[in-house]
Structure 1
């Protein structure tokens, strides 16, 4: 009996976009280049990270005081809001805000550690979490969540 991973549509969509833009390996995971690939302007300021979209303008501002890993996490979180959400969280009901935050957390895992790159690692290695964290410049907790999600979604094939 063998088990295969059945990716979610969102994972496939992200990988397809990255592959189309030539983002094929962890060393290509430069958030400035990823922002450009989605026509998003990216900047850094010493204030809380945020995103803003109005018409064709899409802007993400990342807190420059954060570590590289935290900046990457914030970038992917805000990128989700830009690409998948609408409306101001300042005026929306808590249930909608909570749903958007849940989606942004899920998106962050998929976009920071894309499916087509996960396959480049030995998932049985005792050091895979540390290796992926280092290669993707992302917190090891996010790597662990991503891998746990992959293990949970394996189906008999």
Structure 2
């Protein structure tokens, strides 16, 4: 196994190779066996889509062609959520003193809307943790 500890190690080609996957470029994003198929685009878009398709590879099995639409929706939600945390890991965000959208974009090589949403998710997590800590201090 390999350890990823800093943003510069977040390289989809290295990660794919370590996982025994091949990245192939086609007209549509999907995963097929040990291939992650990506639509050519910006490096940021490809990185984000790689995270999404990697989730399907790691967590999902079967073909969505025969699935109930609600189950497909669930898988797509899971893959989108996974991509935010895979492409911009929380443990790396914690190392940034005052994360901003621009800094997340530059550090993790993601698009602006992706960085904005990830920052929002991170701030919500911190708020929730703060509330949990507050409530644990209240004694009855």
- Both proteins in one fold, TM over 0.5: yes
List runs of 5+ in structure 1 lacking aligned partners: 1-19
- 1:52 is matched with 32
Deviations 1:57-87 (A, max 9, x none): x1102122x1111111111110010001111
Measured after TM superposition, the shift of residue 130 of structure 1 is 0.9
**Following superposition, which runs of at least 4 residues in structure 1 exceed 4 angstroms of deviation?**
none
- 1:3 is matched with none
- 1:10 is matched with none
1:140 lines up with 2:112 in the alignment = yes
- 1:39 is matched with 20
SS at match of 2:35: strand
TM-score by length of 1: 0.75
1:120 lines up with 2:107 in the alignment = no
- 1:23 is matched with 4
Structure 2 distance, partners of 1:34, 1:120, is 22
Structure that is richer in helix per residue: 2
Q: Choose from 54, 61, 65 the match for 2:37.
A: 61
RMSD: 1.6
TM-score by length of 2: 0.83
Larger-gyration structure (1/2): 2
Check the 8 A contact 2:47/2:110 in 1, yes or no. Answer: yes
Q: Aligned pairs, how many?
A: 129
